[in-house]
Structure 1
Amino acid sequence: MTDRSGAPVVVGVDGSPSALHAVRVAAREAAARHRPLRVVHAFLWPMLGTPLGPVAAALPDSELRDEAGKLVQEAVDEARKVDAELVVSGDVVEGGPIPVLLRAGRDAALLVLGHRGLGGFAELLVGSAAVQLAARADCPVLVVRDEPRADGPVVVGVDGSALSNEAIAFAFAEAAQRGTDLVAVHAWLYPATPAFREAYGDIMPLVYDPQELRAEEERVLAEAMAGWAERYPQVRVRQKLVAANAARALVEESTGAQLTVVGAHGRGSLGGLLLGSISHAVLHHARSPLAIVRHRRGADAD
Protein backbone atom coordinates (compact mmCIF):
# COMPACT_ATOMS: atom_id res chain seq x y z
CA MET A 1 0.00 0.00 0.00
CA THR A 2 1.33 3.44 -0.95
CA ASP A 3 2.33 5.71 1.93
CA ARG A 4 0.28 8.88 1.51
CA SER A 5 1.29 10.64 4.71
CA GLY A 6 3.02 13.37 2.71
CA ALA A 7 0.93 13.06 -0.44
CA PRO A 8 0.12 16.29 -2.27
CA VAL A 9 -3.16 17.63 -3.55
CA VAL A 10 -2.93 17.48 -7.35
CA VAL A 11 -4.80 19.80 -9.70
CA GLY A 12 -5.00 19.46 -13.49
CA VAL A 13 -4.73 22.70 -15.49
CA ASP A 14 -5.08 23.68 -19.14
CA GLY A 15 -5.15 27.49 -19.10
CA SER A 16 -8.94 27.78 -19.01
CA PRO A 17 -10.80 29.95 -16.47
CA SER A 18 -12.36 26.77 -15.09
CA ALA A 19 -8.92 25.29 -14.44
CA LEU A 20 -7.71 28.43 -12.66
CA HIS A 21 -10.82 28.30 -10.51
CA ALA A 22 -9.98 24.67 -9.71
CA VAL A 23 -6.46 25.77 -8.76
CA ARG A 24 -7.84 28.22 -6.20
CA VAL A 25 -10.09 25.53 -4.72
CA ALA A 26 -7.22 23.01 -4.74
CA ALA A 27 -4.98 25.50 -2.95
CA ARG A 28 -7.55 25.94 -0.20
CA GLU A 29 -7.95 22.17 0.07
CA ALA A 30 -4.19 21.65 0.30
CA ALA A 31 -3.81 24.38 2.93
CA ALA A 32 -6.64 22.93 5.03
CA ARG A 33 -5.02 19.49 4.86
CA HIS A 34 -1.51 20.88 5.55
CA ARG A 35 -0.30 19.28 2.34
CA PRO A 36 1.68 20.57 -0.65
CA LEU A 37 -0.05 21.37 -3.93
CA ARG A 38 1.13 19.98 -7.27
CA VAL A 39 -0.07 21.66 -10.47
CA VAL A 40 -0.03 19.34 -13.49
CA HIS A 41 -0.47 20.16 -17.17
CA ALA A 42 -0.79 17.27 -19.62
CA PHE A 43 1.16 18.31 -22.72
CA LEU A 44 0.05 16.56 -25.89
CA TRP A 45 0.76 18.77 -28.87
CA PRO A 46 -1.82 17.38 -31.34
CA MET A 47 -4.53 18.25 -28.81
CA LEU A 48 -3.28 21.84 -28.76
CA GLY A 49 -4.04 22.27 -32.45
CA THR A 50 -0.45 21.81 -33.64
CA PRO A 51 -0.19 20.47 -37.22
CA LEU A 52 1.66 17.22 -37.78
CA GLY A 53 5.21 17.83 -38.98
CA PRO A 54 8.81 18.54 -37.95
CA VAL A 55 7.72 20.35 -34.77
CA ALA A 56 7.43 16.96 -33.10
CA ALA A 57 11.19 16.41 -33.21
CA ALA A 58 11.86 19.72 -31.46
CA LEU A 59 8.87 19.61 -29.19
CA PRO A 60 10.72 19.91 -25.83
CA ASP A 61 12.31 23.17 -26.98
CA SER A 62 9.39 24.52 -28.95
CA GLU A 63 7.37 27.62 -28.27
CA LEU A 64 4.43 25.39 -27.43
CA ARG A 65 6.43 23.82 -24.62
CA ASP A 66 7.37 27.28 -23.38
CA GLU A 67 3.72 28.31 -23.43
CA ALA A 68 2.83 25.21 -21.45
CA GLY A 69 5.43 26.19 -18.86
CA LYS A 70 3.98 29.69 -18.65
CA LEU A 71 0.51 28.22 -18.20
CA VAL A 72 1.69 26.12 -15.26
CA GLN A 73 3.55 29.06 -13.72
CA GLU A 74 0.40 31.19 -13.94
CA ALA A 75 -1.47 28.47 -12.05
CA VAL A 76 1.29 28.21 -9.43
CA ASP A 77 1.19 31.98 -8.92
CA GLU A 78 -2.61 31.84 -8.58
CA ALA A 79 -2.32 29.16 -5.90
CA ARG A 80 0.17 31.24 -3.93
CA LYS A 81 -2.27 34.14 -3.93
CA VAL A 82 -4.63 31.91 -1.94
CA ASP A 83 -2.00 31.04 0.67
CA ALA A 84 1.49 32.51 0.58
CA GLU A 85 2.76 29.78 2.93
CA LEU A 86 1.54 26.94 0.72
CA VAL A 87 4.22 24.72 -0.82
CA VAL A 88 3.39 24.65 -4.54
CA SER A 89 5.11 22.89 -7.45
CA GLY A 90 4.22 22.74 -11.13
CA ASP A 91 4.93 20.16 -13.82
CA VAL A 92 4.45 19.92 -17.56
CA VAL A 93 4.01 16.21 -18.24
CA GLU A 94 3.97 14.77 -21.74
CA GLY A 95 0.94 12.63 -22.49
CA GLY A 96 -2.82 12.69 -22.67
CA PRO A 97 -4.84 14.11 -19.77
CA ILE A 98 -6.29 10.79 -18.61
CA PRO A 99 -3.05 8.78 -18.30
CA VAL A 100 -1.15 11.78 -16.93
CA LEU A 101 -3.72 12.44 -14.20
CA LEU A 102 -4.08 8.76 -13.38
CA ARG A 103 -0.32 8.55 -12.81
CA ALA A 104 -0.37 11.73 -10.75
CA GLY A 105 -3.22 10.32 -8.67
CA ARG A 106 -1.17 7.32 -7.59
CA ASP A 107 0.75 9.45 -5.12
CA ALA A 108 -1.92 12.06 -4.38
CA ALA A 109 -4.21 12.68 -1.43
CA LEU A 110 -6.79 14.36 -3.70
CA LEU A 111 -7.12 15.04 -7.42
CA VAL A 112 -8.91 18.31 -8.29
CA LEU A 113 -10.44 19.04 -11.70
CA GLY A 114 -12.37 21.92 -13.20
CA HIS A 115 -15.77 21.13 -14.66
CA ARG A 116 -14.93 22.52 -18.09
CA GLY A 117 -11.67 23.20 -19.86
CA LEU A 118 -9.80 23.79 -23.10
CA GLY A 119 -7.48 21.73 -25.24
CA GLY A 120 -6.76 18.31 -23.80
CA PHE A 121 -9.14 18.84 -20.91
CA ALA A 122 -12.08 20.05 -23.02
CA GLU A 123 -13.95 16.73 -22.79
CA LEU A 124 -12.51 15.70 -19.45
CA LEU A 125 -15.88 15.48 -17.71
CA VAL A 126 -17.99 14.40 -20.65
CA GLY A 127 -18.57 10.75 -21.52
CA SER A 128 -16.02 8.04 -20.82
CA ALA A 129 -13.18 10.29 -19.60
CA ALA A 130 -14.96 11.17 -16.36
CA VAL A 131 -15.80 7.54 -15.75
CA GLN A 132 -12.17 6.54 -16.30
CA LEU A 133 -10.81 9.03 -13.80
CA ALA A 134 -13.51 8.46 -11.20
CA ALA A 135 -13.40 4.68 -11.51
CA ARG A 136 -9.63 4.26 -11.83
CA ALA A 137 -7.92 7.07 -9.91
CA ASP A 138 -6.10 5.87 -6.79
CA CYS A 139 -7.27 8.87 -4.79
CA PRO A 140 -10.53 10.77 -4.33
CA VAL A 141 -11.43 13.03 -7.28
CA LEU A 142 -12.89 16.48 -6.59
CA VAL A 143 -14.83 18.05 -9.47
CA VAL A 144 -15.15 21.83 -9.08
CA ARG A 145 -17.99 23.85 -10.57
CA ASP A 146 -18.92 27.30 -9.29
CA GLU A 147 -17.39 28.97 -6.26
CA PRO A 148 -17.92 26.55 -3.35
CA ARG A 149 -20.23 27.65 -0.55
CA ALA A 150 -18.58 28.70 2.68
CA ASP A 151 -21.53 27.34 4.65
CA GLY A 152 -23.86 24.38 4.32
CA PRO A 153 -23.30 20.71 5.13
CA VAL A 154 -21.32 17.94 3.52
CA VAL A 155 -23.71 15.54 1.74
CA VAL A 156 -22.86 11.87 1.22
CA GLY A 157 -24.66 9.14 -0.71
CA VAL A 158 -25.11 5.94 1.29
CA ASP A 159 -26.09 2.49 -0.01
CA GLY A 160 -24.59 0.06 2.50
CA SER A 161 -21.79 -1.18 0.24
CA ALA A 162 -18.10 -1.36 1.24
CA LEU A 163 -17.28 1.52 -1.08
CA SER A 164 -20.13 3.54 0.36
CA ASN A 165 -18.38 3.14 3.73
CA GLU A 166 -15.25 4.67 2.22
CA ALA A 167 -17.29 7.59 0.93
CA ILE A 168 -18.78 7.99 4.42
CA ALA A 169 -15.30 8.00 5.96
CA PHE A 170 -14.18 10.69 3.51
CA ALA A 171 -17.34 12.73 4.12
CA PHE A 172 -16.97 12.63 7.91
CA ALA A 173 -13.34 13.74 7.66
CA GLU A 174 -14.38 16.59 5.36
CA ALA A 175 -17.21 17.68 7.65
CA ALA A 176 -14.89 17.64 10.68
CA GLN A 177 -12.23 19.61 8.80
CA ARG A 178 -14.77 22.18 7.60
CA GLY A 179 -16.55 22.40 10.96
CA THR A 180 -19.93 21.65 9.44
CA ASP A 181 -22.78 19.12 9.54
CA LEU A 182 -23.09 15.90 7.58
CA VAL A 183 -26.23 14.82 5.70
CA ALA A 184 -26.29 11.10 4.86
CA VAL A 185 -28.68 10.36 1.99
CA HIS A 186 -29.95 6.84 1.31
CA ALA A 187 -32.29 6.61 -1.68
CA TRP A 188 -34.02 3.57 -3.13
CA LEU A 189 -36.53 2.77 -5.83
CA TYR A 190 -36.94 -1.00 -5.82
CA PRO A 191 -39.05 -2.78 -3.19
CA ALA A 192 -36.43 -5.38 -2.26
CA THR A 193 -33.97 -5.82 0.59
CA PRO A 194 -30.23 -5.49 -0.06
CA ALA A 195 -29.89 -9.28 0.31
CA PHE A 196 -32.60 -9.79 -2.34
CA ARG A 197 -30.96 -7.28 -4.68
CA GLU A 198 -27.57 -8.91 -4.25
CA ALA A 199 -28.96 -12.33 -5.04
CA TYR A 200 -31.40 -11.46 -7.84
CA GLY A 201 -30.62 -7.94 -8.98
CA ASP A 202 -33.17 -5.16 -9.24
CA ILE A 203 -36.19 -7.41 -9.79
CA MET A 204 -39.44 -6.10 -8.33
CA PRO A 205 -41.19 -8.77 -6.26
CA LEU A 206 -44.87 -9.27 -6.97
CA VAL A 207 -45.90 -8.70 -3.35
CA TYR A 208 -44.18 -6.60 -0.72
CA ASP A 209 -44.96 -4.74 2.46
CA PRO A 210 -44.10 -1.01 2.15
CA GLN A 211 -43.61 -0.67 5.90
CA GLU A 212 -41.25 -3.64 5.99
CA LEU A 213 -39.40 -2.20 3.01
CA ARG A 214 -38.92 1.16 4.69
CA ALA A 215 -37.82 -0.53 7.92
CA GLU A 216 -35.25 -2.54 5.96
CA GLU A 217 -33.91 0.56 4.20
CA GLU A 218 -33.76 2.39 7.54
CA ARG A 219 -31.69 -0.51 8.87
CA VAL A 220 -29.30 -0.28 5.91
CA LEU A 221 -28.76 3.43 6.55
CA ALA A 222 -28.42 3.02 10.32
CA GLU A 223 -25.89 0.20 9.98
CA ALA A 224 -23.85 2.14 7.43
CA MET A 225 -23.66 5.11 9.81
CA ALA A 226 -23.02 3.08 12.97
CA GLY A 227 -19.86 4.00 14.84
CA TRP A 228 -18.99 7.12 12.88
CA ALA A 229 -20.58 9.54 15.34
CA GLU A 230 -18.32 8.17 18.06
CA ARG A 231 -15.25 8.71 15.89
CA TYR A 232 -16.34 12.24 14.94
CA PRO A 233 -18.36 13.53 17.93
CA GLN A 234 -17.90 17.12 16.71
CA VAL A 235 -19.89 16.41 13.52
CA ARG A 236 -23.66 16.73 13.73
CA VAL A 237 -25.31 14.10 11.51
CA ARG A 238 -28.69 14.08 9.81
CA GLN A 239 -29.81 10.83 8.17
CA LYS A 240 -32.17 11.23 5.23
CA LEU A 241 -34.11 8.31 3.77
CA VAL A 242 -35.63 9.05 0.35
CA ALA A 243 -37.85 6.88 -1.87
CA ALA A 244 -36.54 8.42 -5.09
CA ASN A 245 -33.95 8.23 -7.83
CA ALA A 246 -30.53 8.41 -6.17
CA ALA A 247 -29.01 10.93 -8.57
CA ARG A 248 -32.02 13.23 -8.30
CA ALA A 249 -31.97 13.02 -4.51
CA LEU A 250 -28.24 13.85 -4.36
CA VAL A 251 -28.55 16.70 -6.86
CA GLU A 252 -31.35 18.22 -4.82
CA GLU A 253 -29.38 17.90 -1.58
CA SER A 254 -26.31 19.42 -3.24
CA THR A 255 -28.11 22.75 -3.65
CA GLY A 256 -27.21 23.93 -0.15
CA ALA A 257 -24.08 21.81 0.34
CA GLN A 258 -20.42 22.76 0.63
CA LEU A 259 -19.52 19.38 -0.83
CA THR A 260 -21.29 16.29 -2.15
CA VAL A 261 -19.56 12.91 -1.79
CA VAL A 262 -20.31 9.67 -3.67
CA GLY A 263 -18.62 6.31 -4.16
CA ALA A 264 -17.40 5.36 -7.62
CA HIS A 265 -19.50 2.19 -7.52
CA GLY A 266 -22.21 0.88 -5.28
CA ARG A 267 -25.25 -1.35 -5.22
CA GLY A 268 -28.99 -0.85 -5.23
CA SER A 269 -30.11 2.67 -6.06
CA LEU A 270 -26.55 4.01 -5.92
CA GLY A 271 -25.19 1.13 -7.98
CA GLY A 272 -23.44 2.37 -11.10
CA LEU A 273 -23.52 5.93 -9.83
CA LEU A 274 -20.77 6.86 -12.25
CA LEU A 275 -22.13 4.90 -15.18
CA GLY A 276 -24.73 5.96 -17.71
CA SER A 277 -27.48 8.44 -16.99
CA ILE A 278 -26.98 8.64 -13.22
CA SER A 279 -23.34 9.65 -13.59
CA HIS A 280 -24.21 12.32 -16.12
CA ALA A 281 -26.95 13.67 -13.87
CA VAL A 282 -24.65 14.01 -10.86
CA LEU A 283 -21.59 15.24 -12.76
CA HIS A 284 -23.51 17.75 -14.84
CA HIS A 285 -26.16 18.89 -12.39
CA ALA A 286 -24.74 18.74 -8.85
CA ARG A 287 -24.77 22.28 -7.47
CA SER A 288 -21.73 21.87 -5.25
CA PRO A 289 -18.23 20.47 -5.74
CA LEU A 290 -18.46 16.70 -6.15
CA ALA A 291 -15.99 14.31 -4.50
CA ILE A 292 -15.84 10.82 -6.00
CA VAL A 293 -14.28 8.14 -3.79
CA ARG A 294 -13.19 4.65 -4.75
CA HIS A 295 -11.13 1.83 -3.30
CA ARG A 296 -7.42 2.45 -2.97
CA ARG A 297 -5.10 0.36 -5.14
CA GLY A 298 -4.85 -3.08 -3.57
CA ALA A 299 -8.16 -2.73 -1.77
CA ASP A 300 -10.10 -4.35 -4.58
CA ALA A 301 -9.55 -6.74 -7.39
CA ASP A 302 -9.09 -4.20 -10.21
Structure 2
Amino acid sequence: MNRPVVVGVDGSPSSLVAAEHAARVALLRSRPLLLVHAYLHPFGYGVPLNPYDLGVPVPSEEAQQMLERTAAELVDRCPGLTVEVRQVAGGPGATLIEESRRAELVVVGSRGLGGFAGLLLGSVGAQVAAHAHCPVLVVRPDEQPIPVDAPVLVGVDGSEPSRRAVSYGADEAALRDVPVVLVHVGPPGEGRTVPEEIEESQAAYQAEGARLLADASAEVRAEHPGLVVREHPVRAAGAAQGLIEASGSASLLVVGTRGRAGFAGLLLGSVSQAAVQHAHCPVLVAHQVS
Protein backbone atom coordinates (compact mmCIF):
# COMPACT_ATOMS: atom_id res chain seq x y z
CA MET A 1 0.00 0.00 0.00
CA ASN A 2 1.55 3.31 -1.12
CA ARG A 3 0.51 5.43 1.83
CA PRO A 4 0.56 9.17 1.04
CA VAL A 5 2.04 12.08 2.93
CA VAL A 6 -1.00 14.08 4.08
CA VAL A 7 -1.11 17.80 4.81
CA GLY A 8 -4.01 20.01 5.82
CA VAL A 9 -4.37 23.16 3.72
CA ASP A 10 -6.69 26.04 4.62
CA GLY A 11 -5.04 28.84 2.64
CA SER A 12 -3.27 30.31 5.68
CA PRO A 13 0.46 31.12 5.41
CA SER A 14 1.21 28.45 8.01
CA SER A 15 -0.61 25.73 6.07
CA LEU A 16 1.13 26.72 2.83
CA VAL A 17 4.53 26.49 4.54
CA ALA A 18 3.49 23.05 5.83
CA ALA A 19 2.45 22.04 2.31
CA GLU A 20 5.90 22.98 0.96
CA HIS A 21 7.60 20.87 3.63
CA ALA A 22 5.17 18.02 2.95
CA ALA A 23 5.98 18.12 -0.77
CA ARG A 24 9.72 17.82 -0.10
CA VAL A 25 9.16 15.02 2.40
CA ALA A 26 6.87 13.12 0.00
CA LEU A 27 9.43 13.40 -2.81
CA LEU A 28 12.20 12.23 -0.47
CA ARG A 29 10.12 9.17 0.45
CA SER A 30 8.83 8.53 -3.09
CA ARG A 31 5.28 8.88 -1.80
CA PRO A 32 2.26 10.72 -3.24
CA LEU A 33 1.15 13.93 -1.54
CA LEU A 34 -2.47 14.44 -0.46
CA LEU A 35 -3.68 18.00 0.16
CA VAL A 36 -6.75 17.95 2.41
CA HIS A 37 -9.11 20.85 3.06
CA ALA A 38 -11.65 20.29 5.86
CA TYR A 39 -14.46 22.78 5.31
CA LEU A 40 -16.44 22.55 8.54
CA HIS A 41 -15.51 24.46 11.65
CA PRO A 42 -14.14 22.17 14.43
CA PHE A 43 -17.34 22.79 16.43
CA GLY A 44 -19.67 22.14 13.50
CA TYR A 45 -20.13 25.65 12.13
CA GLY A 46 -21.19 25.41 8.51
CA VAL A 47 -23.74 22.69 9.14
CA PRO A 48 -27.21 23.79 7.91
CA LEU A 49 -29.23 25.44 10.68
CA ASN A 50 -32.55 24.37 9.15
CA PRO A 51 -33.36 20.90 10.57
CA TYR A 52 -35.22 20.06 7.34
CA ASP A 53 -32.16 20.85 5.23
CA LEU A 54 -30.50 17.45 5.57
CA GLY A 55 -26.86 16.78 4.91
CA VAL A 56 -23.82 19.02 5.05
CA PRO A 57 -22.66 21.80 2.71
CA VAL A 58 -21.09 20.81 -0.58
CA PRO A 59 -17.41 21.55 -1.21
CA SER A 60 -16.77 25.14 -2.25
CA GLU A 61 -15.40 26.13 -5.63
CA GLU A 62 -13.14 28.70 -4.00
CA ALA A 63 -11.50 26.08 -1.78
CA GLN A 64 -11.13 23.73 -4.73
CA GLN A 65 -9.35 26.42 -6.71
CA MET A 66 -7.06 27.09 -3.74
CA LEU A 67 -6.19 23.39 -3.49
CA GLU A 68 -5.56 23.02 -7.21
CA ARG A 69 -3.46 26.18 -7.34
CA THR A 70 -1.38 24.97 -4.39
CA ALA A 71 -0.95 21.54 -6.00
CA ALA A 72 0.20 23.08 -9.29
CA GLU A 73 2.75 25.29 -7.52
CA LEU A 74 4.14 22.33 -5.56
CA VAL A 75 4.49 20.15 -8.67
CA ASP A 76 6.28 23.03 -10.40
CA ARG A 77 8.75 23.30 -7.51
CA CYS A 78 9.14 19.53 -7.03
CA PRO A 79 9.27 17.79 -10.43
CA GLY A 80 8.19 14.18 -10.20
CA LEU A 81 5.83 14.78 -7.30
CA THR A 82 2.35 13.22 -7.49
CA VAL A 83 -0.33 15.35 -5.81
CA GLU A 84 -4.00 14.68 -5.08
CA VAL A 85 -6.45 17.15 -3.54
CA ARG A 86 -9.52 16.45 -1.45
CA GLN A 87 -12.19 18.44 0.37
CA VAL A 88 -13.74 16.76 3.40
CA ALA A 89 -16.88 17.78 5.30
CA GLY A 90 -15.48 17.75 8.82
CA GLY A 91 -13.47 19.64 11.42
CA PRO A 92 -9.82 19.97 10.43
CA GLY A 93 -8.39 18.14 13.45
CA ALA A 94 -10.76 15.18 13.25
CA THR A 95 -10.33 15.00 9.48
CA LEU A 96 -6.53 14.82 9.60
CA ILE A 97 -6.63 12.26 12.41
CA GLU A 98 -8.94 10.07 10.31
CA GLU A 99 -6.73 10.53 7.23
CA SER A 100 -3.71 9.51 9.33
CA ARG A 101 -5.08 5.96 9.45
CA ARG A 102 -4.11 5.60 5.79
CA ALA A 103 -1.06 7.89 5.73
CA GLU A 104 2.68 7.46 5.83
CA LEU A 105 3.03 10.83 7.55
CA VAL A 106 0.81 13.82 8.41
CA VAL A 107 2.25 17.33 8.22
CA VAL A 108 0.74 20.24 10.15
CA GLY A 109 1.70 23.89 10.38
CA SER A 110 2.50 25.48 13.71
CA ARG A 111 -0.16 28.12 13.25
CA GLY A 112 -3.46 28.04 11.36
CA LEU A 113 -6.07 30.76 10.91
CA GLY A 114 -6.84 31.08 14.61
CA GLY A 115 -5.70 30.10 18.08
CA PHE A 116 -4.25 31.70 21.17
CA ALA A 117 -1.11 33.79 20.75
CA GLY A 118 0.65 31.85 23.51
CA LEU A 119 0.17 28.50 21.79
CA LEU A 120 2.58 28.24 18.88
CA LEU A 121 1.05 25.03 17.60
CA GLY A 122 -2.66 25.89 17.64
CA SER A 123 -5.56 23.64 18.56
CA VAL A 124 -5.74 21.68 15.29
CA GLY A 125 -2.03 20.92 15.21
CA ALA A 126 -2.08 19.92 18.89
CA GLN A 127 -4.99 17.52 18.29
CA VAL A 128 -3.24 15.86 15.35
CA ALA A 129 0.17 15.69 17.05
CA ALA A 130 -1.42 13.96 20.07
CA HIS A 131 -3.90 11.60 18.42
CA ALA A 132 -2.70 10.67 14.91
CA HIS A 133 -2.30 7.04 13.86
CA CYS A 134 1.00 7.67 12.06
CA PRO A 135 4.01 9.96 12.56
CA VAL A 136 3.28 13.71 12.54
CA LEU A 137 5.65 16.40 11.30
CA VAL A 138 5.04 19.79 12.95
CA VAL A 139 6.45 22.59 10.80
CA ARG A 140 7.45 26.04 11.99
CA PRO A 141 6.86 29.22 9.94
CA ASP A 142 9.86 30.30 7.86
CA GLU A 143 10.87 33.04 10.28
CA GLN A 144 14.45 31.79 10.21
CA PRO A 145 15.69 29.33 7.57
CA ILE A 146 16.55 25.85 8.88
CA PRO A 147 19.85 24.58 7.36
CA VAL A 148 18.99 21.50 5.32
CA ASP A 149 22.34 19.89 6.19
CA ALA A 150 21.87 20.31 9.95
CA PRO A 151 21.60 17.07 11.95
CA VAL A 152 18.51 15.24 13.18
CA LEU A 153 18.20 15.44 16.97
CA VAL A 154 16.68 12.74 19.21
CA GLY A 155 16.30 12.63 22.97
CA VAL A 156 17.45 9.43 24.70
CA ASP A 157 16.14 8.30 28.10
CA GLY A 158 15.96 4.51 27.74
CA SER A 159 12.14 4.34 27.56
CA GLU A 160 10.21 2.53 24.85
CA PRO A 161 8.93 5.82 23.32
CA SER A 162 12.53 7.06 23.26
CA ARG A 163 13.75 3.90 21.50
CA ARG A 164 11.03 4.34 18.87
CA ALA A 165 12.02 7.98 18.44
CA VAL A 166 15.67 6.98 18.00
CA SER A 167 14.70 4.49 15.28
CA TYR A 168 12.58 7.11 13.47
CA GLY A 169 15.32 9.71 13.87
CA ALA A 170 17.95 7.43 12.39
CA ASP A 171 15.69 6.67 9.42
CA GLU A 172 15.10 10.40 8.87
CA ALA A 173 18.80 11.20 9.08
CA ALA A 174 19.59 8.46 6.57
CA LEU A 175 16.93 9.78 4.17
CA ARG A 176 18.26 13.33 4.47
CA ASP A 177 21.93 12.24 4.40
CA VAL A 178 22.75 14.14 7.60
CA PRO A 179 24.13 13.02 10.99
CA VAL A 180 21.87 11.93 13.83
CA VAL A 181 22.63 13.43 17.24
CA LEU A 182 21.51 11.46 20.30
CA VAL A 183 20.92 13.73 23.29
CA HIS A 184 20.65 12.75 26.93
CA VAL A 185 19.66 15.55 29.30
CA GLY A 186 21.08 15.41 32.82
CA PRO A 187 20.54 17.72 35.81
CA PRO A 188 22.52 20.96 36.06
CA GLY A 189 25.46 20.79 38.42
CA GLU A 190 28.28 23.09 37.35
CA GLY A 191 29.18 26.21 39.27
CA ARG A 192 27.76 25.31 42.65
CA THR A 193 28.76 23.26 45.66
CA VAL A 194 26.55 20.28 46.49
CA PRO A 195 26.59 17.73 49.33
CA GLU A 196 28.71 14.66 48.74
CA GLU A 197 25.73 12.31 48.46
CA ILE A 198 24.16 14.52 45.78
CA GLU A 199 27.47 14.67 43.92
CA GLU A 200 27.62 10.86 43.97
CA SER A 201 24.04 10.68 42.74
CA GLN A 202 24.82 13.05 39.88
CA ALA A 203 27.89 11.01 38.96
CA ALA A 204 25.77 7.86 38.84
CA TYR A 205 23.19 9.70 36.69
CA GLN A 206 25.93 10.78 34.29
CA ALA A 207 27.23 7.23 34.05
CA GLU A 208 23.72 5.93 33.33
CA GLY A 209 23.26 8.63 30.69
CA ALA A 210 26.53 7.65 29.01
CA ARG A 211 25.42 4.00 28.98
CA LEU A 212 22.04 4.88 27.45
CA LEU A 213 23.72 6.94 24.73
CA ALA A 214 26.21 4.17 23.98
CA ASP A 215 23.46 1.55 23.73
CA ALA A 216 21.34 3.76 21.46
CA SER A 217 24.35 4.52 19.25
CA ALA A 218 25.14 0.84 18.89
CA GLU A 219 21.58 0.08 17.79
CA VAL A 220 21.57 2.91 15.24
CA ARG A 221 24.94 1.89 13.78
CA ALA A 222 23.75 -1.70 13.45
CA GLU A 223 20.72 -0.55 11.42
CA HIS A 224 22.53 2.19 9.47
CA PRO A 225 26.24 1.31 9.17
CA GLY A 226 27.10 4.37 7.06
CA LEU A 227 25.25 6.92 9.17
CA VAL A 228 27.18 9.48 11.21
CA VAL A 229 26.05 9.11 14.84
CA ARG A 230 26.97 11.58 17.55
CA GLU A 231 26.38 11.35 21.31
CA HIS A 232 25.61 14.60 23.06
CA PRO A 233 25.08 14.65 26.84
CA VAL A 234 23.73 18.01 28.02
CA ARG A 235 22.78 19.53 31.37
CA ALA A 236 19.58 21.49 31.85
CA ALA A 237 16.86 22.13 34.39
CA GLY A 238 14.68 19.56 32.63
CA ALA A 239 14.59 17.27 29.61
CA ALA A 240 12.25 19.59 27.71
CA GLN A 241 14.47 22.63 28.24
CA GLY A 242 17.57 20.71 27.19
CA LEU A 243 16.01 19.42 23.96
CA ILE A 244 14.47 22.78 23.06
CA GLU A 245 17.80 24.57 23.53
CA ALA A 246 19.64 21.93 21.49
CA SER A 247 17.03 22.12 18.70
CA GLY A 248 18.38 25.50 17.62
CA SER A 249 21.17 23.75 15.69
CA ALA A 250 19.07 20.91 14.23
CA SER A 251 17.08 20.41 11.02
CA LEU A 252 14.62 18.14 12.85
CA LEU A 253 13.79 17.11 16.43
CA VAL A 254 12.21 13.68 16.92
CA VAL A 255 10.12 13.03 20.05
CA GLY A 256 8.26 9.95 21.26
CA THR A 257 4.71 9.32 22.43
CA ARG A 258 3.24 7.27 25.23
CA GLY A 259 1.16 5.10 22.93
CA ARG A 260 -2.58 4.61 23.23
CA ALA A 261 -2.92 3.50 26.83
CA GLY A 262 -4.36 5.68 29.57
CA PHE A 263 -6.17 8.98 29.17
CA ALA A 264 -6.70 10.18 25.60
CA GLY A 265 -5.27 13.58 26.42
CA LEU A 266 -2.00 12.10 27.69
CA LEU A 267 -0.72 10.50 24.49
CA LEU A 268 2.07 13.07 24.43
CA GLY A 269 4.11 13.36 27.60
CA SER A 270 5.08 16.73 29.04
CA VAL A 271 8.48 16.74 27.31
CA SER A 272 6.97 16.03 23.88
CA GLN A 273 4.21 18.59 24.48
CA ALA A 274 6.80 21.25 25.26
CA ALA A 275 8.92 20.29 22.26
CA VAL A 276 6.14 20.55 19.68
CA GLN A 277 5.15 23.93 21.11
CA HIS A 278 8.55 25.55 21.52
CA ALA A 279 11.29 23.81 19.51
CA HIS A 280 13.35 25.95 17.14
CA CYS A 281 13.08 23.48 14.25
CA PRO A 282 10.43 21.14 12.80
CA VAL A 283 9.39 18.34 15.16
CA LEU A 284 8.56 14.75 14.22
CA VAL A 285 6.18 13.04 16.67
CA ALA A 286 7.02 9.34 16.42
CA HIS A 287 3.62 7.66 16.49
CA GLN A 288 3.59 4.08 15.29
CA VAL A 289 1.73 3.49 12.03
CA SER A 290 -1.50 1.68 12.99
Task: Please give the alpha-carbon distance, in whole angstroms, between the structure 2 residues aligned to 1:172 and 1:49.
Answer: 42
State yes or no: 1:107 paired with 2:122.
no
Task: Please give the alpha-carbon distance, in whole angstroms, between the structure 1 residues aligned to 2:129 and 2:41.
Answer: 25
Aligned to 1:247: 240
Matches within 5 A, 1:36-75: 36-44=32-40, 53=49, 60-61=57-58, 65-75=60-70
Aligned equivalent of 2:228, options 226, 233, 236:
236
CA gap of 1:13–1:215, structure 2 versus 1, over 3 A, is same
State yes or no: 1:219 paired with 2:207.
no
The one-character-per-residue Cα deviations of 1:51-96 (angstroms, maximum 9, x if unpaired) are 96459758544xx722222222222123212223211000001111
Contact 2:18/2:107 (8 A) holds in 1: yes
The one-character-per-residue Cα deviations of 1:195-217 (angstroms, maximum 9, x if unpaired) are xxxxxxxxxx9895332221122
Aligned equivalent of 2:255, options 242, 262, 280:
262
- How many residues align? The count is 271
User: How far is 1:99 from its partner?
Assistant: 1.3
State yes or no: 1:28 paired with 2:24.
yes
* TM-score for both structures, normalised by structure 2: 0.81
Aligned to 1:157: 155
Q: Which runs of 5+ in 1 are unaligned?
A: 192-204, 267-271, 298-302
User: How far is 1:46 from its partner?
Assistant: 7.8
Paired residue secondary structure (2:60): helix
Aligned to 2:176: 178
Paired residue secondary structure (2:231): strand
CA gap of 1:48–1:13, structure 2 versus 1, over 3 A, is farther
Q: Which runs of 5+ in 2 are unaligned?
A: 190-196, 260-265
Paired residue secondary structure (1:104): helix
User: How far is 1:235 from its partner?
Assistant: 1.3
* TM-score for both structures, normalised by structure 1: 0.78
- Aligned identity (percent) is 41
CA gap of 1:48–1:132, structure 2 versus 1, over 3 A, is closer
Aligned CA RMSD, in angstroms, stands at 3.2
